[in-house]
């Protein structure tokens, strides 16, 4: 089977510092893949290289068989890769629904009425109760849901998620896991997910890739990863 996303020999340097050193990753359609590793391992940098915020120093990123490395973020977004940032970046002066409408109009929806209807559906899907509230009036959980709704509005086949669970309580994490599952199972969207909340990622990821100091040190099913000596030493042991 051809991978949905394929990163081949990815290198990234910032001046004299090399953040990624020849990373290879494949993500297959329908998977939830976890990307874990200690602080500074290069996880967010890799997401930034996939969605075009950064360009690799060397190596290529392919999505649905076409090379996307070097393309701009808005182009990559239109090609079908959505992004959920760790720090929510909504338009703060707009209501939740207006934020999602804006994302829809940026994408393919032309008609405003249609966009409003679709936005309501998406807000309900992610679980936001007050669509008219502005982003500074809602809880952290709802801020994350809003980011997810905005990403879904761009009609992605793959979404890149960065530390979605950070700051959420146990119940909110359960809700988020159910949402991820619905996104994969009901919408058929593949997820590449960076996370530090291990019990969450171990519960839901089909496969986990571990980065340490810019290198992939392990890859496998959650139950294999928790037993991996290199992973325990580099990350889980602490
Ligand atoms: N724009 C940049 N300029 C210089 N160095 C950078 C830049 N972006 C990232 N780095 C460095 O690259 C390394 C990897 O950073 P990255 O943010 O990808 O780590 P991470 O795995 O996401 O860590 P965390 O779990 O803390 O979010 C770090 O040492 C970071 O300081
Ligand atoms: Mg990060």
Within-domain flag for 85: no
Distance 116 CA to ligand 2 centre (A): 33
As a whole number, mean pLDDT of residues 18-46 equals 98
- Looking only at the bridges linking them, the beta strands covering 5-14 and 58-63 are antiparallel
Do residues 109 and 132 both lie within one domain?
yes
Mean pLDDT of 198-205: 97
Q: What is the pTM of this model?
A: 0.96
The neighbour count for residue 34, using CB atoms within 10 Å, is 24
166 and 199 fall within a common domain = yes
Mean pLDDT of the chain: 96
Compute and round to an integer the Cα radius of gyration of the chain: 18
The H or E element spanning position 200 is helix 198-204
- 192 has a pLDDT exceeding 80: yes
One domain for residues 120 and 136: yes
Which domain covers residue 66, as residue numbers?
A: 1-80+157-238
Domain end among 107, 124, 155: 155
Position 68 in a domain = yes
Whether residues 102 and 40 share a domain: the answer is no
Give, rounded to a whole angstrom, the gap between the first and last alpha carbons of the chain.
Answer: 37
Instruction: Tell me whether residue 61 is in a domain.
Output: yes
In a domain, 86, yes or no: no
Q: Is residue 21 part of a domain?
A: yes
Atom of ligand 1 nearest to the CA of 42: 18
Q: Pick from 51, 60, 46, 6: which is nearest to 28 by CA?
A: 6
With a CB cutoff of 8 Å and minimum separation 6, the contacts of 204 are 32, 34, 177, 180, 181
Do 47 and 111 lie in a common domain?
no
| For ligand 1, mutation pick of 11, 19, 85, 87 (most atoms within 8 Å of CB) | 19
Show the tokens assigned to 209: 């890739």
Is residue 26 pLDDT above 80, yes or no?
yes
In a shared domain, residues 126 and 56: no
In this structure, what token pair is assigned to residue 49? 């290289």
2 DSSP 8-state letter: -
| Ligand 2 centroid – CA 114 distance (Å) | 36
**49: pLDDT confidence band, cut at 50, 70 and 90?**
very high
Q: How many domains does the chain have?
A: 2
Please state, in angstroms and as integers, the Cα–Cα distance from residue 83 to each residue in 52, 164, 190, 220, 234, following that order.
Answer: 11, 11, 12, 24, 27
Q: What is the per-residue pLDDT across 107-137, written as a single tens digit (0 to 9) for each?
A: 878 899 999 999 999 999 999 989 999 999 9
20 lies in some domain: yes
CA gap 207, 30 in Å, rounded:
11
Q: Which residues line ligand 1 (CB under 6 A)?
A: 14, 17, 19, 37, 39-45
The answer as to whether 10 is a domain residue is yes
pLDDT at residue 238 is higher than 70: no
- Single out the residue in 114, 132, 155 at which a domain terminates: 155
Region of poorest pLDDT, from 32-46, 76-90, 166-180, 214-228? 76-90
Whether residues 148 and 163 share a domain: the answer is no
Tokens read off for 52: 């075009």
190 forms beta bridges with 158
Which protein residues have a CB closer than 5 Å to ligand 2 (ion)? 43-44
CATH of the domain at 19: 3.40.50.300
What ligand has the least distance to the C-alpha of 85?
A: 2
Residue 13 contacts residue 57 (beta carbons within 8 Å)? yes
Asked whether residue 164 falls in the same domain as residue 233, the answer is: yes
Of 225, 35, 24, 138, residue with least CA distance to 236? 225
pLDDT of residue 5: 98
Is the domain of 236 the same as that of 168?
yes
Which of the listed residues 107, 136, 155 is the one where a domain comes to its end? 155
Same domain, 146 and 164: no
How far, in Å, from the CA of 21 to the mean position of ligand 1?
A: 13
Same-domain pairing of 76 and 170: yes
């Amino acid at each position: 089977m051809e991978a949905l996303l394929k990163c081949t020999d990815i290198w990234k340097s910032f001046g004299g510092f090399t953040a990624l050193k020849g990373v290879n990753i494949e993500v297959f359609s329908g998977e939830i893949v976890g990307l874990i590793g200690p602080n500074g391992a290069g996880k967010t940098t890799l997401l930034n290289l996939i969605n075009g915020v950064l360009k690799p120093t060397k190596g290529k990123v392919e999505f649905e068989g076409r090379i996307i490395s070097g393309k701009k973020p808005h182009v990559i977004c239109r090609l079908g890769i959505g992004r959920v940032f760790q720090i929510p970046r909504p338009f703060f002066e707009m209501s939740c629904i207006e934020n999602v409408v804006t994302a829809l109009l940026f994408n393919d929806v032309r008609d405003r009425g249609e966009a409003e209807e679709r936005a309501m559906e998406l807000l309900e899907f992610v679980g936001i109760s007050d669509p008219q509230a502005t982003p500074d009036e809602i809880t952290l959980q709802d801020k994350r849901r809003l980011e997810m709704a905005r990403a879904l509005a761009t009609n992605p086949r793959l979404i890149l998620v960065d530390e979605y669970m950070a700051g959420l309580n146990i119940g909110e994490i359960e809700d988020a896991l159910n949402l991820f599952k619905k996104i994969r199972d009901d919408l058929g969207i593949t997820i590449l997910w960076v996370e530090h909340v291990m019990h969450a990622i171990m519960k839901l990821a089909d496969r986990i890739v571990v980065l340490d100091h810019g290198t992939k040190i392990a890859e496998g099913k959650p139950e294999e990863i928790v037993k991996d000596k290199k992973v325990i030493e580099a990350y889980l042991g602490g």
